[in-house]
Structure 1
């Protein structure tokens, strides 16, 4: 009897939709809740990236692919952002640091239908490479912090 009950409970738990819930702030991250929809925020991020002299280098997300498989999940998009000027300067300071480029902006759909913008601060991302790249790398990361903050502010308004 206990095995049957355990089996039923496990099956019920596995049948329930899996969702991790809304994104929470964490160390090194900048997190911005918005009133925008997921689609509107994705479009706003792309426009803000361009307006702030950066480029969308990569884009990935499981939402559309999951829908193609008949699975509905909340909107989820990772947008890789960088530009060649920063890439060349950082590469001159630390070959290893370039593995962190592009810096990713994360757009997630909340349970209430609004969307959130988040990213790891560039100074946080590049911090492990400062012993190699020195003060110049710290300075570039600080410049990127300002640029990403401007992208975020433009996208969420």
Structure 2
């Protein structure tokens, strides 16, 4: 009986969903670990988006949804950022690229109580559409790379 219980526990643990500790570096992404608490980084990111005259057009948070169900998971928030003049330029270059807007930042709470800011660079996001979008899309992506980097730099800066 004890062997059967041990086997059951081994199988259960092996197939139980686990949460990763943080966002790992990967191709096309920028990942910045900070010493800020999760909510402070969310607030500072919102302020940085506004300071760069961009718009926060979407937000989603599994942790907020879980909290509403009485569950607690590490904080996470996906924040979609864009602006209409960029959208028009993007669509003039490639209608198909429109599926990628808004471009998103991702704030995640790390195990030690700090938070990480990550995002796919606009040039990476738009890479599949470059043949169709040509120089106009490449220029827009490079411009947005700079805008997103500036937002991130402001958001992670010490208060």
Range that drifts further, 62-71 or 72-81? 62-71
Q: State the match for 1:66 in structure 2.
A: 66
Tell me the alpha carbon deviations over residues 41-90 of structure 1, each in whole angstroms, 9 at most, x when there is no partner: 00111110010111001000110111122221100000000000100011
Q: Structure 2 unaligned segments of length 5 or more: list them.
A: none
What SS class does the counterpart of residue 59 from structure 1 fall into?
A: strand
Tell me how far 1:17 sits from its aligned partner.
Answer: 7.9
What is aligned with 2:7? Answer: 6
Partner Cα separation in structure 2 for residue 47 and residue 91 of structure 1 = 27
Question: 1:52 maps to which residue?
Answer: 52
3-state SS of paired residue (2:87): helix
Shift of 1:107: 0.2
Post-superposition offset of 1:30: 0.5
Secondary structure (helix, strand or coil) at the match of 1:47 reads helix
Structure 1 position 36 matched with structure 2 position 36? yes
Task: Measure the CA separation in 2 of the matches of 1:75 and 1:7.
Answer: 31
SS at match of 2:22: coil
TM-score (normalised: structure 1): 0.94
Which residue of 1 is the match for residue 101 of structure 2?
A: 101
Question: Whole-Å Cα distance in 2 between the matches of residues 60 and 4 of structure 1?
Answer: 40
What TM-score do the two structures reach when normalised by structure 2?
A: 0.92
Q: Over the residues paired in the alignment, what is the CA RMSD in angstroms?
A: 1.7
Alignment partners' CA distance in 1, 2:9 and 2:59: 40
Deviation for aligned residue 1:152: 0.2
Q: Deviations over 1:13-55 (max 9, x none)?
A: 27x8832111111000001111111000001111100101110
CA distance in 1, matches of 2:38, 2:17: 20
Secondary structure at the residue paired with 1:41? helix
Per-residue displacement from partner, 1:102-128 (whole Å, max 9, x unpaired)? 000000000100000000000000011
How many angstroms apart in 1 are the aligned matches of 2:133 and 2:17? 45
